[in-house]
Amino acid sequence: MPEMLSLSNDPILFLSVMVAKILVVFIVVVLIVAYATYAERKIIGRMQTRLGPTMTGPLGLLQPIADGLKLFFKEDIIPAQSSKFAFILAPMMILVPAFITVAVIPFGDFITVGGYLVPLHITDLNVGILYILAMAGLGVYGIVLAGWASNNKYSLIGGIRSAAQMVSYELAAGLSMIAVFMLSETLSLRGIVDAQAGSVLNWYIFSQPLAFCLFVITSLAEINRTPFDLPEAETELVSGFCTEYSSMKYALFFMAEYANMIVVSAITATLFLGGPAGPFAGPINLLLKIFFFMFLFIWIRATFPRVRYDQLMFMGWKVFLPLALLNIVITGAVIVF
Amino acid sequence: MIKEFIQGLSITAKHLLPGHTTTVEYPKQKLEIAERFRGLHRLVPDHDREKCVACGLCPTVCPAKCITVEAGEDENGVKYPKVYQIDMLRCIFCGYCVEACPVEAIEMTGEYELASYKREDFCFTKERLLK
Amino acid sequence: MAKKETMTINMGPQHPSTHGVLQLVLELDGETVVNAVPHVGFLHRGVEKLAENRSYHRALPLTDRLDYLAPMSNNLGYVLAVEKLLGITDQIPERAKVVRVMMAEITRIKSHLVWLATHALDIGAMTVFLYCFREREAIMDMYEKLSGARMTSNYFRVGGLSLDLPEGFENDVLEFIDAMPGHLNTYEGLLTGNKIWQKRTIGVAKISAEDAIDIGLTGPALRASGVDWDLRRDNPYSGYEDYDFKVITRDGCDTFDRYTARLDEMRESCKIIRQALDKLQPGPILADEPSVCLPAKKDVVNSIEGLIHQFKIITEGFKPEEGEIYQGVEAPKGELGYYMVSDGTANPFRMKVRPPSFVNLQALPQMIEGSMIADVVAAIGTLDIVLGEIDR
Ligand code: SF4
Ligand code: SF4
């Protein structure tokens, strides 16, 4: 049994493996973000009897790159009446938490590098779930800031909507997660994955179906996807908090939205579907699960209308929150008795 | 409630299957134009010249006032349009000119790609309309 | 207690959900609308004034551009009005009348499809939008086949029709109305039962029957408030009295009921079209009224009388006797009325259009005061306004 690679036994190898892991994960996430936009346009296009992008490259495969280039060369407009610092800060405040959440997601078991065992995750925090919740909380600031700094009434309404929405749905999402770590008895994501190991039936989706549904729905709301895309609500608020943004800053918002989708899919896969467990190699299993959820999100977007702000709040506080609490009580009772 | 959600999802999923797209990839493919399509005008030629006898009915009926006809007489004393010009920027493609012409000298073709960068390009003179 | 402040927000004229260039000045208290003032006129082209400087014949294309989503209904109202002014209403041949009814109903479906598409899009269901436009495309193709233009049809003429039906047109129509109920079920599958759609529409933008009558609402918006009033039945024109159809009413007074009412109206339209197809007999398409109608093209080319006739009508036009009339038709959006005054010349002395959207828009402030911003777009959608007709 080889020893676990750590800073003390081989610092140079440890650091280079660490950097390599971070780079690989980052590049994979960025690639998925880019091609998620492509996939979304293709899939929704097909569902709506259209074709989606076809002109750039074979099957339009270069479309994300063309989009990126286009946005990059667009004039970067900062409205004269905006508060410039916050205006520039906001897109970063959204994107960074979205990306760094990925750090705690385990994407495989262990591999041996140079005679040492290397775990396939960037870091294993023993408070992993709290970290995720904290990062999700940070994301709100970006949107509120963007809405406020733009000095545009539509953006402001969008920002306020999203603040209220994310805060209230985070609560329900957090509470539905509690049931999971009541079962696993750990807050570390690696621990939760290990607790689901063995057979498919050990996955928490089977022991916690209610928590699973709640989590998927509330996280849809948290990442502002249809049917809960009120902060952007194109037909009401004209894109809401990002109305005034252009060029690369707008691209950052766009990337953050898709990065959040990936993060939420990955967390759902980790908490309820055994993470990297499955028939293939660990990372591939996880990716497949992520793709499944992303397809689901896109599918939902193509099908459902948007809910109204007050109904959204009503659902968050009066339906999902009590259900999540109920689920905790039931889980607790089952564990105790 | 769940049933309806699933019903909705299945409708969109059904359209995901091949064979449901209706897109016509425009510059590459084009819609078939109906026979009666009211596109760019054409002056009907008659032997070596246009059939038009410069009667002046089409400029009279044109609601957009975009046809200019100036009558002239050739060496045999036959009336012909010295100037015949349609300002396509004003034309509303109503088809009244075709309906009014007593000698069927003007017709409308299926040509609809009329965009251009220059204003002058929209001034369709007799020579261009005869093509 | 803190001072209560409201925020004023300009919705439009550049806004994706105001269906063109409507401007709404909203006074908001948080997300709640305290006050709403619609401003119109951004698309004003002076259609009524333009008509005064044109002969009756040449004013017809102007009407295409009122409600550009339902050009044939506008044409129909206009030609009926002029025919009434001329007193030749009884001389319109049967075939022309049947084709007019058929096309008016196809136009109703066309207009309702755009309404459903944009209404659903405003509420966030964007797939319905594209499905509706797919069906609308089929109607556009029919329009093109029949009249030569996809939108500004300019097909009816005072006294009848400009051209006879092209070959195979009946089959196209039949195919379309056979397929249409299935498509309607698809839209319903995506929307009617959907809990979110119901939440967004039931009880939203209510208007009671009394208020609706006071304001002068017409069309599906009125009928969904429980008022059984349809000009096709209550003041028939163009032979509508010979058709068997139901006038769809609802009692909910809200957006959802207006939605189901319009969907059922499309189904009824399909039935009317089917009856019209059965009634279609070969025959003349223009009234035998040489002082008004253009002669047939072959007469013009071959006979000197025809030629003179053609010259006379095109250069002089026809001159109705002095007088004034009002003719209303049940356009897809409500009662479209033409009030025409003749002073005995070839140009109308006055053409006043009563556009249904303009009158219906008046209900908007009442519908949305006290509701959320999101309901504003739902209310604009459910009224089915077209700015081309409001601003004229
Ligand atoms: S189509 Fe109509 S507007 Fe155009 S030139 Fe002919 S009469 Fe004039
Ligand atoms: S109506 Fe015919 S003949 Fe007369 S001027 Fe026009 S094109 Fe020429």
Each domain of chain B, given as residue ranges in start order, spans 23-130
The answer to whether residue A232 scores a pLDDT higher than 70 is no
pLDDT value of residue B105: 85
**Per-residue pLDDT reduced to its tens digit, A125-162:** 777 788 888 888 887 888 888 888 888 888 888 888 88
> Is residue B1 within 8 angstroms of chain A, CB to CB?
no
What is the band of A233 on the pLDDT scale with cuts at 50, 70, 90?
low
Which residues of chain A neighbour C18 with C-beta distances below 8 Å?
A: none
| C-alpha triplet C30, C32, C36: angle, nearest 5° | 115
pLDDT band at A1 (very low <50, low <70, confident <90, very high): low
**8 Å CB contact of B21 and A303:** no
Centre of ligand 1 from the C-alpha of residue B67, in Å: 7
Query: What CA–CA distance (Å, rounded) separates B4 from B10?
Result: 10
Instruction: Using a CB–CB cutoff of 8 Å, tell me whether B37 touches chain C.
Output: yes
A6-35 residues touching C, CB cutoff 8 A: none
CA of B108 to the centre of ligand 1 (A): 10
CB-CB under 8 Å, A43 with B16: yes
Task: Closest CB to A299: pick one of B12, B20, B21.
Answer: B12
Ligand 1 atom closest to Cα of residue B93: 1
Q: Quick one: which H or E segment has residue C32?
A: strand C32-39
Report the gap between the CA of A301 and the closest CA in chain C (Å): 8
Q: Which CATH number fits domain B23-130: 3.30.70.3270, 2.40.50.1020, 3.30.360.10, 3.10.20.30?
A: 3.30.70.3270
Q: Does the beta carbon of B95 lie inside 6 Å of ligand 1?
A: yes
Among the listed residues A112, A105, A128, the one whose alpha carbon sits nearest the alpha carbon of residue A26: A105
pLDDT at C216: 87
A189 φ, ψ (degrees, to nearest 5):
-65, -35
Contacts of A48 in chain B (CB under 8 A): 15
| C176 vs B11, higher pLDDT | C176
pLDDT in tens, A24-72: 888 888 888 888 888 888 888 888 888 888 888 788 888 888 888 888 8
Q: Which two tokens stand for residue B21?
A: 């797209």
Q: How close is the Cα of B101 to the center of ligand 2, in Å?
A: 5
Evaluate whether A52 touches A42 at the Cβ level (below 8 Å).
yes
- Of C117, C196, C203, the closest CA to residue A227 belongs to C196
The secondary structure element, H or E, covering residue C28 is strand C23-29
Helix axes A282-303, B2-16, angle to 10 degrees: 100
Q: Which of B57, B61, B62 to mutate to test the pocket of ligand 1 (most atoms within 8 A of CB)?
A: B62
Name chain A contacts of B25, Cβ cutoff 8 Å.
51, 54
Q: Establish if A237 touches chain C: CB-CB under 8 angstroms.
A: yes
Ligand at shortest distance from the CA of B82: 2
Record: contact C195-B108, CB cut-off 8 A: no
| Contact criterion met (CB below 8 Å) for C88 and C292 | yes
**Quick check: A153 and C9 CB within 8 A?**
yes
What count of other Cβ atoms lies within 10 Å of the Cβ of residue A335?
11
Helix residue ranges, H only, A185-246: 189-195, 204-207, 209-222, 234-237
Cβ of A50 within 8 Å of Cβ of B23? The answer is: yes
Q: Is the CB of B67 under 6 A from ligand 1?
A: yes
Q: How far apart are the first and last CA of chain C?
A: 48
Ligand 2 closest atom vs CA B100: 1
For ligand 2, atom 1: residue with the closest CA: B101
Q: Which atom of ligand 1 is nearest to the CA of B90?
A: 3
User: How many angstroms separate the CA atoms of A267 and A271, rounded?
Assistant: 6
Cβ neighbours of A307 in C, within 8 Å:
196, 199-200
Mean pLDDT (chain A) is 81
Task: Please check the confidence at residue A296 and state whether its pLDDT lies above 60.
Answer: yes
Q: Do C154 and B7 touch (CB under 8 A)?
A: no
Task: Give the position of tokens 């960037």.
Answer: A122
Confidence (pLDDT) at B16 = 79
Instruction: Report the residue from C31, C125, C374 with minimal CB separation from A304.
Output: C125
Of B66, B78, B103, the residue with max ligand 2 atoms within 8 A of its CB, to mutate for a pocket test, comes to: B103
How far away is chain B from the Cα of C335, in angstroms, using its nearest Cα?
Answer: 26
Mean pLDDT score, B6-14: 79
Count chain B–chain C contacts defined by CB atoms under 8 A: 84
Percent helix, strand, coil in chain A (nearest 5)?
Answer: 70, 5, 25
Residues in B touching C314 (Cβ below 8 Å): 57, 60-61, 100
Could you tell me which chains touch chain C, where touching means 3 or more CB pairs under 8 A?
A, B
CB A74 within 8 A of CB A246: yes
The three-state secondary structure class of C339 is strand
User: Which of C15, C200, C373 is the closest to A305 by Cβ?
Assistant: C200
Which chain C residues are Cβ-neighbours of B33 within 8 angstroms? Answer: 144
Segment B25-37 shows an average pLDDT of 85
User: Is the pLDDT assigned to residue A227 strictly greater than 80?
Assistant: no
Residues composing chain A: 337
Half-sphere exposure of A70 (CA within 13 A, CB side): 7
Q: Which-ligand-closest: CA of C311?
A: 2
Residue C27 sits at φ, ψ, to 5 deg, of -105, 120
Return the HEC string of chain B: CHHHHHHHHHHHHHHHCCCCCCCCCCCCCCCCCCCCCCCCEEECEECCEECCCCCCHHHHHCCCCCEEEEEEECCCCCEEEEEEEEECCCCCCCCHHHHHCCCCCEEECCCCCCCCCCHHHHEECHHHHHC
Per-residue pLDDT band at A2 (split at 50, 70, 90):
low
Q: What is the pLDDT of residue C54?
A: 86
Give whole-number Cα distances, A308 to A233, A311, A312, in Å.
10, 5, 6
**C137-165: buried (b, 16+ CB within 10 Å) or exposed (e) per residue?**
ebbbbbbbbbbbbbebbbbbbbbbbbebb
Q: Does A154 touch chain C (CB under 8 A)?
A: yes
pLDDT (0 to 100) of residue A105: 82
- Strand residues in A86-177 grouped as ranges (E): 110-113, 116-119
pLDDT tens-place values along chain C, 392 residues long: 566 788 888 887 877 777 778 888 888 887 788 888 888 888 888 888 888 888 888 888 888 888 888 889 899 999 999 888 888 888 888 888 899 899 999 999 999 999 998 888 888 888 888 888 888 988 998 888 888 888 888 888 888 888 888 888 888 898 898 888 888 888 888 888 888 888 888 888 888 888 888 888 888 888 888 888 888 888 888 888 888 888 888 888 888 888 999 999 999 899 899 888 888 888 888 888 777 778 777 777 778 887 888 888 888 888 888 888 998 898 888 888 899 998 888 888 888 999 898 888 888 888 888 888 888 888 888 888 888 888 88
Can you tell me the mean pLDDT for A219-240?
Answer: 73
Residue with the two structure tokens 């929704």: A44
**CA nearest to C146 within chain B:** B36
Residue A13 CA to ligand 2 centre (angstroms) = 89
Minimal-distance CA residue to ligand 2 atom 8:
B52
Cβ distance of C196 and A304 shorter than 8 Å: yes
* CB-side neighbour CA atoms (13 Å) of C14: 0
- Chain A residues whose beta carbon lies within 8 Å of the beta carbon of residue B8: 303-304
**What single letter denotes the amino acid at residue B106?**
I
Q: A49–B15: do the CB atoms touch at under 8 Å?
A: yes
Is ligand 2 within 6 A of the CB of residue B105? yes
Predicted-assembly ipTM surpassing the 0.85 threshold: no
CB proximity A302 to B under 8 Å: yes
Measure C77 CA to ligand 1 centroid, in angstroms: 22
Entry field: residues in chain B: 131
Pairing between β-strand A116-119 and β-strand A3-4 as defined by DSSP bridges = parallel
